């Protein structure tokens, strides 16, 4: 694979982001895209012929399971690491993660030849833990919530001097993930609706910002698990709030609190948010495998589930973001075993 390119002298946003505003700008998003050019996979838009009769304006999917490490997270992780000073990066990095962020940071750290520690929940899937370890990370298990992982990561950083790479609540992460939205706008300029999953808010806030800054008339819909309504709760309260608990199949979306900076972006750029039950996600996973030959983890399939369930009524050509596909074979088989309902 070779070592990653150093970009500190090429005008990339610094970690301090001294020139930043509370919301990322189109210039920052485009800068992140230039930094990822030739590094990240530019995933295609795939037309979903199986849904063309039901949705005549057309449905396309953005399959980030084809991205490096099997999920969108590589975009933000590499953007963050590439923007660090070499001396800081050499101290090593720590990633608090339910799975995909940790794998992405581990991969980017390997590209730069620096040590990486990933703090994962005790409930992490075997596929996601093995992925981080395969990319050379040291995995430490801590608790079951995002807040517990963040606390452990901070503790390790104080002891080791390594730098914590935030999973979502940071402008560099938002800008990196938002490059996905720029690609959508470049590939389908007349898009009318973009559907994106909502976890901590890194992907959804970045994509929403990129789409709306390019064309404010595009409708952006966020999708969250019915058992983890963190964005809905934050919108009702007017600020991020911590859920007492969360549950559901999409483990990558089960954080109990939306990021502060992510919430600010979503309040500005996301038109609505809807919730999806686990049963619909299982059907969507089976649909993607049967009809598109794409393996999606539950967090990745939740968006197409919302569309298929009629929870989102498209306005014009619609792009559905499939955020990732990191699921182990036994888990996939168990989730798609039921017969597929008629579409």
Q: Where are the domains of the chain?
A: 26-71+170-335, 73-164
Please give the model's pTM, rounded to 2 decimal places: 0.91
pLDDT at 183: 98
pLDDT at 5: 47
Q: Which residues of the chain have pLDDT under 70?
A: 1-21, 338-343
Catalytic residue among 83, 97, 98, 323: 323
Architecture of domain 26-71+170-335: 3-Layer(aba) Sandwich (3.40)
pLDDT at 147: 82
Residue 230 is a catalytic residue: no
Same fold: 26-71+170-335 with 73-164? yes
Give the pLDDT confidence of 243-302 residue by residue, as tens digits. Answer: 999 999 998 899 899 999 999 999 999 999 999 999 999 999 999 999 999 999 999 999
Torsion of CA 280, 285, 290, 294, to 10 degrees: 150
In angstroms, the CA 222 to CA 108 distance is 28
| Average pLDDT of the chain to the nearest whole number | 91
pLDDT at 144: 87
pLDDT at 126: 83
Catalytic residue among 73, 128, 212, 230: 73
Domain 73-164: assigned CATH number: 3.40.50.1100
């Amino acid at each position: 694979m070779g070592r990653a390119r150093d970009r500190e002298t090429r005008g990339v946003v610094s970690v301090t982001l001294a020139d930043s505003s509370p919301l990322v700008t189109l210039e920052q998003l485009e800068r992140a895209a230039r930094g990822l050019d030739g590094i990240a996979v530019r995933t295609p838009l795939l037309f979903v012929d199986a849904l063309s009769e039901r949705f005549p304006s057309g449905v396309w999917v953005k399959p980030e399971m084809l991205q490096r490490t099997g999920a969108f997270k590589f975009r933000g992780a590499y953007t963050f690491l590439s923007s660090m000073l070499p001396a800081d990066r050499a101290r090593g990095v720590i990633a608090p993660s339910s799975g995909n962020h940790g794998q992405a940071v581990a991969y980017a750290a390997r590209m730069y030849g620096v040590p990486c520690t990933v703090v994962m929940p005790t409930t992490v899937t075997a596929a996601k833990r093995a992925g981080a370890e395969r990319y050379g990370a040291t995995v430490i298990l801590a608790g079951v919530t995002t807040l517990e992982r963040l606390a452990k990561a901070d503790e390790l950083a104080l002891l080791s001097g390594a730098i914590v790479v935030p999973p979502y609540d940071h402008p560099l992460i938002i800008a990196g993930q938002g490059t996905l939205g720029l690609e959508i706008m470049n590939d389908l300029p007349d898009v009318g609706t973009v559907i994106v999953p909502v976890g901590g808010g890194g992907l959804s806030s970045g994509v929403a910002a990129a789409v709306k800054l390019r064309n404010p008339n595009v409708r952006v819909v966020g999708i969250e698990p019915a058992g983890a309504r963190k964005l809905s709760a934050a919108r009702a309260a007017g600020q991020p709030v911590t859920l007492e608990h969360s549950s559901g199949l999409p483990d990558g979306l089960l954080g109990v609190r939306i990021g502060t900076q992510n919430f600010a972006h979503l309040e500005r750029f996301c038109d609505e948010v809807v919730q999806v039950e686990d049963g619909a996600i299982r059907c969507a996973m089976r649909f993607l495998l049967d009809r598109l030959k794409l393996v999606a983890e539950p967090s990745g399939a939740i968006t197409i589930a919302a569309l298929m369930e009629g929870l989102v009524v498209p306005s014009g050509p619609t792009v559905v973001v499939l955020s990732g596909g990191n699921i182990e074979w036994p888990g996939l088989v168990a989730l798609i075993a039921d017969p597929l309902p008629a579409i």
